[in-house]
Each structure stands twice: as structure tokens, then as C-alpha cells.
């Protein structure tokens, strides 16, 4: 499995582009099923949270709801009402699919929290080892 390290902006672009592409595919194959879109949103959230750089961890739970909204554009019902109809369709889709939105955001938040705790524990172990004069694994500090 690839292990890219995305910046905050890169994570936003990845997540937004993925959700838009999946929404277009959903529109073609499933006639814009919002349930299919919501199910596809969850792995994109987890991948975004896994692939963002350690310095940009806080951005993942912020960008996934924005990407969810951006991805809804091709499948939201516009009711033939132009821009205002599209906006109302988008708001309605967001209201009806809030469970998927909250679930994906929660999944990204949990992954990011686990990564941050792991990162902090590694840094603490490294500091303790340096204070003792050796790094974990018996290596000497440089």
C-alpha cells in the first residue's frame, strides 16, 4: 500500500478530487445514490487521515467535510431551478446525509488522534533515550 505524505493542501485536493470523481461515477452507475456516495466517503476520509503529513494532522478532520460538500455537487438534485435550485438541493443533501458526514469526520478524527498519540509517544521515548545516552535499539546518538 502506498505511503504518501500529503500536505494540508494536498490532502484537501486529494479528498476533494476523489469525492468529486466518486460522485460522478456514482451518478453514472447508480443514478446519484446518496447512500453509495456516503459509503464511498468513509474510506476516502480514512485514507486522507492516514496519508497527511504528521505536521498537518489537524487539517484532515477539517478538509473531509468540505470535500464531502464539494463532491455532492454532481449528484445533488437541482429540481430544474437553476442556481437556487442547485443550492437548495445541496443543502437538502447535506441535511439528509449528515450521518455519513459526521461518521467520516469522526473516522478521520480518530485516525488522526491515534497517529498523534503514537507520534508523541515515540518522541517521548526518543527524548528519554537521549537523556540516558543511547537511542532505542542500542544505537548511539549522533
Mean pLDDT of 50-75: 94
Residue 129: the pLDDT is 86
Q: What is the mean pLDDT of residues 100-122?
A: 96
Question: What would the mean pLDDT of 70-92 be, rounded to a whole number?
Answer: 87
Q: 135 falls in which pLDDT band (50, 70, 90)?
A: low
d(CA 78, CA 92): 10
Contacts of 66 (CB under 8 A, 6+ apart): 12, 16
Q: Which helix H or strand E contains 133, and what residues bound it?
A: none
Q: What is the mean pLDDT of the chain?
A: 90
**If pLDDT is split at 50, 70 and 90, which confidence band does 86 have?**
confident
Write the pLDDT tens digit of every residue in 3-56.
Answer: 788 999 999 999 999 999 999 999 999 998 999 999 999 999 999 999 999 999
The answer to whether 16 and 42 are in contact (CB under 8 A) is: no
Amino acid at each position: 500500500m502506498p505511503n504518501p505524505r500529503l500536505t494540508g493542501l494536498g490532502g484537501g485536493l486529494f479528498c476533494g478530487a476523489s469525492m468529486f470523481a466518486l460522485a460522478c461515477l456514482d451518478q453514472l452507475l447508480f443514478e446519484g445514490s446518496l447512500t453509495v456516495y456516503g459509503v464511498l466517503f468513509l474510506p476516502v476520509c480514512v485514507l486522507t487521515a492516514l496519508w497527511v503529513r504528521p505536521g498537518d494532522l489537524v487539517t484532515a478532520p477539517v478538509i473531509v467535510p468540505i470535500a464531502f460538500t464539494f463532491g455532492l455537487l454532481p449528484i445533488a438534485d437541482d429540481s430544474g431551478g437553476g442556481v437556487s435550485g442547485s443550492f437548495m438541493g445541496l443543502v437538502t443533501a447535506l441535511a439528509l446525509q449528515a450521518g455519513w458526514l459526521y461518521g467520516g469526520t469522526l473516522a478521520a478524527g480518530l485516525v488522526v488522534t491515534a497517529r498523534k498519540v503514537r507520534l508523541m509517544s515515540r518522541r517521548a521515548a526518543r527524548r528519554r533515550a537521549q537523556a540516558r545516552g543511547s537511542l532505542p535499539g542500542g544505537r548511539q546518538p549522533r
